[in-house]
Chains A and B, each alone.
Chain A
């Protein structure tokens, strides 16, 4: 099958599924072993049930139709390109300036093939602008397109009260202004909106210090450091921690920011299969025994990069096994809790709490404030010498401006809320509500017979759709019924596994979930 857009994964994924379902049995056995160990250590753990993760395989006819769909789309694409070249069909894309026609082309033609032909047809499902706070219900601006999605025109009407299943609003903290946001208003008036300087120079406000202390307390670690953007946190701090001569073992499905940070650092990168501890162990053994590839010198450091909850799969990392491996092989562990902080665990402190482990066992805890806390920015937490080192050597501390004061205030406010420091137990209630919603939603969807990926407890629920035509139809249909969903296809997911992704939130009520 021709792969549009120069894509790579085609048939690989099928086999992966088989392995996963076989591996499930064996993994259960090892899990039981580890559970007993934890009990002997006397730590309280949450863990008396098995991790139920399912990655069901799709029925064969669905896969065949999916590939056929892509094949037909590709053929059409070639046809239209041909017509466009010959001037039969009007080309609506923006073109190069006349004077620059004979320059080296800015984009490769084939890269844009996918964009022009397949993506353009269903482009109205992404980038939908909204005009209210991204809470449980929001207002979507209506757009129509006169020429098959090349351009959009706003009709000026607004679709009100659409149920929001797309934004990462796990704890429901991103809401319209209410009185409890008064502190943010005060901070805004006093401090202004921006900080026109970097952390090292004049940019460290007392708000930042307060925030960092609070984050450290929340996570139960020694110290923390905050940055202005979550993506940048990863891509600028991994190069500061590892360099040439080090080894990075990263999961297959890691986020782009982690991949970018790993590439920028100059270390050797090896990839292990998603959530597969046997593969990781094999890589670790080989690395420690055989050293660097050509010179056979020992590695300087080995860093394992995983995420707490994977955004496209909805699976949770198998933390206890990875920590056992890490201790045995003396590697360092870096967890990106972008989606799991605040959303997973009995009091919302992330995957370490979900498994009942001590956060001191993880070397570097990283997370973002965008998803559960309703603000922007990222943090890195860990031991004090680690954070001190980052304060001195992180790229963003020296060159990028620090976090804006009202945003810092919002995070402070939500952290206090979660920890119960403002006198109410609403924070805990939100976390519990989220867990309840998650379980209920997943259960109902499974009863209805859909294929759902991921761990039972993860609030990100991908629902597999497979066929590209279905993807677009599903999204449009849902919008008509006033439910806003997110659909993802190639290139963010493998070619044959387009999906719709639901993000459950604490602010959803049961009726809302039932409507869906």
Chain B
């Protein structure tokens, strides 16, 4: 039965063929021939169109000269003749053979030289040796690391903390773990270089707002809201806050808890606080703390955490001891604030230099009041001041930046750092020295 119907359909088809108009058949025939031709013709690659012969290719290879791997560097660049410090970079520092009072290292709480910290590091050295020989995932997690994470979480009153083995890598790995292509990040213009690198690695959209200007931030957020009517400082516009506290951890706040403690903000409101331990805690490395929901994600996706060796245990032990000291004497923070205020006032009246920075901050900049017009000239003038101060045994330094890479380059300046260990008369002496030198050089 089936074959009969098939045959019958075939007969119908043949009939239709006979009955079709001629042009139709011809058109179809041409189309079929064209398809067959396309199928069999050789496909040509786009690149081969230039038709170079082998000989020409060899010539091209011969002729090509790459740029030198590195361009030559002028010999008198300051980085090549850096200051060599012999001995510990603590309160009294020996720079290039000369003993000075240290106003340049970020040793805010003076813990670099503390015997307790050193003893803790020594004990850990005896037990563990120096290195950890492995990333956190593969037997690189020591009990000291877990201890330190616990202590940091308790100190900052958050749920969890995670440690990185290098301060720069902390924020540069944390940002790309959360924000990828297609996300938007609102960044302060004056954000530090590590943050910029983290943003670059994350490939998100970046919108800059003026330094510390909340109105500008609000304007940007409004624009964004208009753009996508989805997102709507934080709860109004539903953004998340990441805070970077390398310089303020251990300095601001009554117990050294940083900016959140200083302003009395509930710490749960901030999604992530990142800081490095290299300034106040006199160790090396960095940490992030926040709620477990946020921090746990970094354990698998923070690149500087998963793919890099963990912090050497002696540095972790030193950090724990430093935390102990911080918890035991909360009075040093008030002392530090007092000293900051004192030197800030003392340096106010120098002609030719202006003080930039809040009176509470332990590191501030001295910029030229009127720039000479060229950055190099400014840098040289400031370097003069620094050198002369060094001759009078005050160690200062210029704030260094990579000029071509920074997004918003701040003007050149001298950075002055206040630590707990400097006495009042040393502060006075420093202030007067800087005044004299500035007057001598700039006038």
Chain A residues in the interface with B (C-beta under 8 A): 93-97, 99-100, 102-104, 106-107, 115, 119, 126-135, 138, 140-141, 164, 166-169, 174-177, 181, 184-185, 188-206, 209, 228-232, 235-236, 241, 255-257, 260, 263-264, 285-286, 288-290, 298-302, 328-332, 363-364, 368-371, 373-376, 385-386, 388-393, 395-401, 403-407, 410, 484, 486
The 4 closest A-B pairs by CB, nearest first: A400-B168, A229-B166, A231-B308, A389-B70
Given known A376-B165, A386-B69, contact A192–B142 (CB-CB < 8 A): no
Query: How far is the CB of A279 from the nearest CB of chain B, in Å?
Result: 16
Contact A202 B166 (CB under 8 A): no
Given known A94-B296, A200-B400, A388-B80, contact A174–B282 (CB-CB < 8 A): no
Interface residues on B, range: 35 or more
Q: Give the docked Cα–Cα distance between A395 and B402 (Å).
A: 7
A400 in complex: contacting residue of B83, B128, B166, B283, CB < 8 Å = B166
Q: Which of chain B's residues have a CB closer than 8 A to the CB of A298?
A: 64
Q: Give the docked Cα–Cα distance between A290 and B51 (Å).
A: 11
Can you spell out 5 A-B residue pairs with CB atoms less than 8 angstroms apart? Answer: A94-B296, A189-B122, A193-B284, A332-B66, A374-B130
Q: Which of chain B's residues have a CB closer than 8 A to the CB of A194?
A: 112, 277-278, 281-284, 315, 318
Q: Which of chain A's residues have a CB closer than 8 A to the CB of B306?
A: 256
Q: Give the docked Cα–Cα distance between A132 and B129 (Å).
A: 9
Q: Which of B11-19, B131-139, B351-359, B368-376 contacts A (4 or more CB under 8 A)?
A: B131-139
Contact A176 B126 (CB under 8 A): yes
B90 within 8 A of A: yes
A192 in complex: contacting residue of B90, B294, B299, CB < 8 Å = B90
Q: Which of chain B's residues have a CB closer than 8 A to the CB of A204?
A: 82-85
| Residues 127-175 of B at the A interface (beta carbon under 8 Å) | 127-134, 136-143, 145-146, 159, 165-169, 172
Contact B133 A185 (CB under 8 A): no
Quick one: which of A96, A176, A229 has the most chain B CB within 10 A? A229
B303 in complex: contacting residue of A106, A133, A260, CB < 8 Å = A260
Q: Give the docked Cα–Cα distance between A205 and B405 (Å).
A: 26
B87 within 8 A of A: yes
Query: Across the two chains, which residue of chain B brings its CB closest to A329?
Result: B61
Contact A393 B130 (CB under 8 A): no
Q: Which of chain A's residues have a CB closer than 8 A to the CB of B107?
A: 196
A200 in complex: contacting residue of B82, B121, B133, CB < 8 Å = B82
Contact B121 A188 (CB under 8 A): yes
Query: Across the two chains, which residue of chain A brings its CB closest to B419?
Result: A196
Quick one: which of A119, A166, A235 has the most chain B CB within 10 A? A235
Q: Give the docked Cα–Cα distance between A55 and B90 (Å).
A: 54
Given known A192-B90, A200-B79, A289-B61, contact A97–B268 (CB-CB < 8 A): yes
Contact B88 A176 (CB under 8 A): no
Q: Give the docked Cα–Cα distance between A203 and B93 (Å).
A: 11
A103 in complex: contacting residue of B69, B105, B142, B238, CB < 8 Å = B238
Contact A257 B308 (CB under 8 A): yes
Given known A228-B166, A375-B131, contact A167–B138 (CB-CB < 8 A): yes
Contact A229 B66 (CB under 8 A): no
Q: A302-B66, A375-B312 are in contact. List 20 more A-B contacts (CB 8 A).
A: A97-B293, A103-B238, A106-B240, A106-B293, A127-B137, A129-B142, A129-B143, A177-B125, A188-B121, A194-B282, A194-B284, A194-B318, A201-B397, A201-B398, A298-B64, A329-B61, A374-B130, A391-B79, A398-B193, A401-B284
Chain B residues in the interface with A (C-beta under 8 A): 47, 50, 52, 57, 60-61, 64-67, 69-73, 77-80, 82-90, 93, 95, 102, 104-107, 112-113, 117-118, 121-122, 125-134, 136-143, 145-146, 159, 165-169, 172, 178, 192-194, 197, 200-201, 230-231, 235, 238-240, 268, 271, 276-279, 281-284, 291-294, 296-297, 299-300, 303-304, 306-309, 311-312, 314-315, 318, 395, 397-402, 405, 415
A229 in complex: contacting residue of B93, B146, B169, B398, CB < 8 Å = B169
Q: Give the docked Cα–Cα distance between A310 and B54 (Å).
A: 35
Given known A96-B293, A177-B125, A288-B64, contact A392–B104 (CB-CB < 8 A): no
Quick one: which of A264, A390, A401 has the most chain B CB within 10 A? A401
Q: Which of chain B's residues have a CB closer than 8 A to the CB of A376?
A: 130-132, 165, 309, 311-312
Contact A132 B139 (CB under 8 A): no
Q: Which of chain B's residues have a CB closer than 8 A to the CB of A232?
A: 166, 168-169, 304, 308
Q: Which of chain A's residues have a CB closer than 8 A to the CB of B292?
A: 94
Q: Which of chain A's residues have a CB closer than 8 A to the CB of B69?
A: 241, 301, 332, 363-364, 386
Given known A193-B117, A193-B315, A395-B402, contact A202–B89 (CB-CB < 8 A): yes
B65 in complex: contacting residue of A181, A203, A330, A388, CB < 8 Å = A330
Query: Across the two chains, which residue of chain A brings its CB closest to B183?
Result: A104
Query: How far is the CB of A117 from the nearest CB of chain B, in Å?
Result: 14
Q: Give the docked Cα–Cα distance between A328 and B87 (Å).
A: 49
Q: Give the docked Cα–Cα distance between A374 and B197 (Å).
A: 29
Contact B121 A193 (CB under 8 A): yes
Contact B139 A166 (CB under 8 A): yes
Q: Which of chain A's residues have a CB closer than 8 A to the CB of B134?
A: 134, 166-168
Q: Give the docked Cα–Cα distance between A231 and B197 (Å).
A: 14
Query: Across the two chains, which residue of chain A brings its CB closest to B50?
Result: A290
Q: Which of chain A's residues have a CB closer than 8 A to the CB of B145?
A: 129
Q: Give the docked Cα–Cα distance between A264 and B196 (Å).
A: 11
Contact A174 B126 (CB under 8 A): no
Given known A166-B138, A241-B70, A486-B138, contact A176–B131 (CB-CB < 8 A): no
Q: Which of chain A's residues have a CB closer than 8 A to the CB of B201?
A: 260, 263-264
Contact B84 A209 (CB under 8 A): yes
Q: Which of chain A's residues have a CB closer than 8 A to the CB of B95?
A: 202
Q: Give the docked Cα–Cα distance between A385 and B401 (Å).
A: 21
Q: Which of chain B's residues have a CB closer than 8 A to the CB of A330?
A: 64-66
Q: Which of chain B's residues have a CB closer than 8 A to the CB of A410?
A: 130-131
Given known A129-B146, A231-B166, contact A395–B193 (CB-CB < 8 A): yes
Q: Give the docked Cα–Cα distance between A406 and B129 (Å).
A: 11
Q: Which of chain B's residues have a CB closer than 8 A to the CB of A195?
A: 89, 105, 278, 284
Query: Across the two chains, which residue of chain A brings its CB closest to B306?
Result: A256
Contact A174 B284 (CB under 8 A): no
Q: Which of chain A's residues have a CB closer than 8 A to the CB of B106?
A: 196-197
Contact B307 A255 (CB under 8 A): yes
Q: Give the docked Cα–Cα distance between A389 and B306 (Å).
A: 30
Q: Which of chain B's residues have a CB closer than 8 A to the CB of A107?
A: 178, 297
B128 in complex: contacting residue of A176, A363, A484, CB < 8 Å = A176
Q: Which of chain A's residues have a CB closer than 8 A to the CB of B104?
A: 197, 201-202
Query: Across the two chains, which residue of chain B brings its CB closest to A197?
Result: B105
Contact B238 A102 (CB under 8 A): yes
Q: Give the docked Cα–Cα distance between A286 and B60 (Å).
A: 11
Q: Which of chain A's residues have a CB closer than 8 A to the CB of B77?
A: 392
Contact B192 A399 (CB under 8 A): yes
Q: Give the docked Cα–Cα distance between A290 and B56 (Å).
A: 12
Query: How far is the CB of A367 from the nearest CB of chain B, in Å?
Result: 13
Q: Give the docked Cα–Cα distance between A407 and B307 (Å).
A: 20
B309 in complex: contacting residue of A97, A164, A230, A363, CB < 8 Å = A230
Contact A399 B143 (CB under 8 A): no
Q: Which of chain B's residues have a CB closer than 8 A to the CB of A102?
A: 238
Query: Across the two chains, which residue of chain A brings its CB closest to B77?
Result: A392
Q: Which of chain A's residues have a CB closer than 8 A to the CB of B78?
A: 200
Q: Give the docked Cα–Cα distance between A332 and B69 (Å).
A: 7
Query: How far is the CB of A297 from the nearest CB of chain B, in Å?
Result: 11
